[in-house]
Chain A
Amino acid sequence: MVDQSTVERLKDLACEARKNILRLCHKGATHIGGDLSMADMMTVLYQYGMKYDPKRPDWEERDRFILSKGHGAGCLYVTLAMAGYFSMDEVLAKYREPGSPFGEHPSSEVPGVEISTGSLGHGLSVSVGLALAARLDGRGNRVFTLMGDGETQEGSVWEAAMAAAHYELGNLVAFVDRNRISLDGETEKLLRLEPYAEKWRAFGWNVVVIDGHDIEQIVAVFDNLPPVDSKKPTVVIGKTVKGKGVASMENDVNWHAGSIDADFLARSCAELDEARRRERGE
């Protein structure tokens, strides 16, 4: 059973992460819709599931994380700041400033970022390489990656999916932020992905489908991961809502990317706080 105090702590952190994501979006344009849809899975990854030490970013036994959907840089910076790699103030001061390491897509100049990403369809292949290296070295770490669902329209993702199953990489876990919307609209209208879970299953993966905003379900994913030395890679398809948490942004294709003013920021943060209070029964 999932520990309820852990779940409550993670919900608080996810709420704080969303507010930080909005603060960053006020500082400069971010891919705000996707940042908000991936926030719960990212929070549980870094605040519950992953093994790492922000004081030793090069620790050999750390779990590796690759943000394949590099457009989610805003959420990644917030997550890493809340994990202790640097302060949120630093991100807010430097985001999109000339010469800053904190740009629109993640650069490996940022502590905690393993490799620069941004072009879609690359992260799963790199993750396969990392998982193979861990196996070669006999290390017990896992490799996590997070992809956007639209991103998996790229053919290279399926090359990597075949390879992960072929090399029996049970140490590899891929999350998909299945918010069903990419820049131009609905994935199912642009290039149909369904039947999605069946595709991954047919490619030889262990498939877990969850509500990507249900902290308890995300925690359960980590509690029930197959052993590191098992033989099937795992894909976690998190059903999410683009813009999750800010009603006026939810499922709105116009909030793929953009920035918000101070008034919008204040109203949205109040909305998130209020929702969290109601959730707690306060």
Chain B
Amino acid sequence: MAQETFQFFSLIEKMSAREVYGKKLAEIGKTNDRIVVLTADLMRSNKTGDFMKAHPDRFFNIGIAEQNMMGIAAGLALDGKLPFVSTMATFATMRACEQVRTDICYANLPVRIVATHGGLTTGAGPTHYGQEDLAIMRSLPNMTVIAPGDPNQIGKVVEASIEWEGPMYIRIGRGGEPVVYKEDYTYEIGKSITVREGDHITLIATGSIVFYAVAAAEMLAAEGIRARVIDMHTIKPLDRQAVIKAAKETGAIVTAEDHNIYGGLGSAVAEVLAEEGLACKFRRLGIPDLFAGYGEPEYLYHLYGYDAEGICSAAKALL
């Protein structure tokens, strides 16, 4: 029997992960003086102003110099600090990629890169889209890669990150993404959350697309298709068991992510299926390997086929 594991909100309630992040940082900064916060002239965008006001000595606005910011974060972490570093996903992972790789990951330092405006959430065009970030970060040894499944989840991720070893890349959206989780729940890095049970097909989504996967499952339910929905908030290390279980129990998997079709969640899931020798109907949804145009996320997700409607029709086509 399919059963709802979580109740979810509709588009009525939207939250900004950036707001949640900023408030959570300021809060835990009170009791943890190892925490330092860095931004590259994006404090007002990253919403780290609360931390700045509460702990000005531990807040560094580095200016528009992302490479330097990542190097400085490495130095601070090398000397015992726990840096939270924020800029937009595209700049964190590409402008400063080598510093992230060589200074932070190679040294296995506990730097938390909280990248905003992941995927197409800015709507501001390809220069500001973070559509390759998960693939790039996933290929860096020691790096943990996370895309929280709804705007509130970043609070839980920040809490969990305090005791997590090594570097982390945490990708959130622009803000104004719908809330998925109404009730409280246990969050564990590396352990996916089954948002909804089902045995006909599994929809595996990450980040801002989890909401649309849940909405797609609702649409499928209306047609008698019981879709399981998995919030794969941790892309690396991937919850392999959840993928294996989904393949064995439902026999069909659709992945959906706000990221290039190559190298992100879909690729990670495909790797598990191939390595486990599991025969399973499979389809990846995401940005179809192009530089996305301008538009609000809802418009673009629909255009590229990974909004609720797109996920729903891909699922039906697969079955």
Q: In the bound complex, do residue B72 and residue A114 qualify as a contact, i.e. CB atoms below 8 Å apart?
A: no
Q: Is B73 an interface residue (CB 8 A)?
A: yes
Out of A115, A134, A167, name the residue touching B74 (CB < 8 Å): A115
Pick out which of these stretches binds chain A: B96-104, B203-211, B272-280: B96-104
Q: In the bound complex, do residue A122 and residue B78 qualify as a contact, i.e. CB atoms below 8 Å apart?
A: no
Interface size class of B (residues with CB under 8 A): 20 to 34
Q: Is A159 an interface residue (CB 8 A)?
A: yes
Query: Which 10 A-B pairs give the minimum distances between C-beta atoms?
Result: A129-B75, A125-B71, A133-B79, A159-B68, A159-B65, A129-B72, A126-B75, A130-B75, A129-B76, A156-B67
Q: Is B80 an interface residue (CB 8 A)?
A: yes
Q: In the bound complex, do residue B78 and residue A163 qualify as a contact, i.e. CB atoms below 8 Å apart?
A: no
**Known contacts being A116-B107, A119-B102, A163-B72, is A129 close to B67, with CB within 8 Å?**
no
Give the secondary structure class of B's interface.
helix
**Known contacts being A108-B107, A115-B103, A115-B107, is A125 close to B76, with CB within 8 Å?**
no
Q: Is A127 an interface residue (CB 8 A)?
A: yes
Q: Chain B nearest CB: distance from A106 CB in Å?
A: 12
Q: In the bound complex, do residue B79 and residue A125 qualify as a contact, i.e. CB atoms below 8 Å apart?
A: no
With A and B bound together, what is the CA distance between A155 and B96 in angstroms?
Answer: 12
30 contacts between A and B (CB under 8 A): A64-B79, A114-B78, A119-B98, A122-B98, A122-B99, A124-B71, A125-B70, A125-B103, A126-B74, A126-B78, A128-B75, A129-B72, A129-B73, A129-B76, A129-B77, A129-B78, A132-B75, A133-B78, A133-B79, A133-B80, A133-B81, A137-B80, A156-B65, A156-B68, A156-B99, A159-B63, A160-B72, A163-B63, A163-B68, A166-B63
Q: In the bound complex, do residue A126 and residue B79 qualify as a contact, i.e. CB atoms below 8 Å apart?
A: no
Binding site for B on A (CB under 8 A): 64, 108, 114-116, 118-119, 121-122, 124-134, 136-137, 155-156, 159-160, 162-163, 166-167
Q: Is B183 an interface residue (CB 8 A)?
A: no
With A and B bound together, what is the CA distance between A127 and B102 in angstroms?
Answer: 15
Q: Is B58 an interface residue (CB 8 A)?
A: yes
Q: Chain B nearest CB: distance from A35 CB in Å?
A: 22
Q: In the bound complex, do residue A125 and residue B72 qualify as a contact, i.e. CB atoms below 8 Å apart?
A: yes
**Least CB separation from A116: chain B residue:** B106
Give the secondary structure class of A's interface.
helix
Q: In the bound complex, do residue A156 and residue B71 qualify as a contact, i.e. CB atoms below 8 Å apart?
A: yes
Out of A116, A125, A155, A162, name the residue touching B63 (CB < 8 Å): A162
With A and B bound together, what is the CA distance between A272 and B198 in angstroms?
Answer: 79
Knowing that A133-B78, A134-B79 touch, tell me 11 more A-B residue pairs with CB under 8 angstroms: A64-B79, A115-B107, A119-B102, A125-B71, A126-B72, A126-B74, A130-B78, A130-B79, A131-B75, A132-B72, A163-B68
Q: Is B36 an interface residue (CB 8 A)?
A: yes
Q: Chain A nearest CB: distance from B9 CB in Å?
A: 41
Q: In the bound complex, do residue A136 and residue B71 qualify as a contact, i.e. CB atoms below 8 Å apart?
A: no
Out of B63, B65, B79, B102, name the residue touching A129 (CB < 8 Å): B79
Out of B57, B58, B67, B81, name the residue touching A125 (CB < 8 Å): B67
Q: In the bound complex, do residue A129 and residue B74 qualify as a contact, i.e. CB atoms below 8 Å apart?
A: yes
In the complex, per-residue mask of B35-70: 1 if CB is within 8 Å of any chain A CB, else 0: 010000000000000000000011010110101101
With A and B bound together, what is the CA distance between A114 and B76 in angstroms?
Answer: 12
Q: In the bound complex, do residue A126 and residue B36 qualify as a contact, i.e. CB atoms below 8 Å apart?
A: no
**Least CB separation from B70: chain A residue:** A125
With A and B bound together, what is the CA distance between A125 and B78 in angstroms?
Answer: 12
With A and B bound together, what is the CA distance between A108 and B73 in angstroms?
Answer: 17
Measured between beta carbons, the chain A residues less than 8 angstroms from B99 are 122, 125, 156
Q: In the bound complex, do residue B71 and residue A126 qualify as a contact, i.e. CB atoms below 8 Å apart?
A: yes
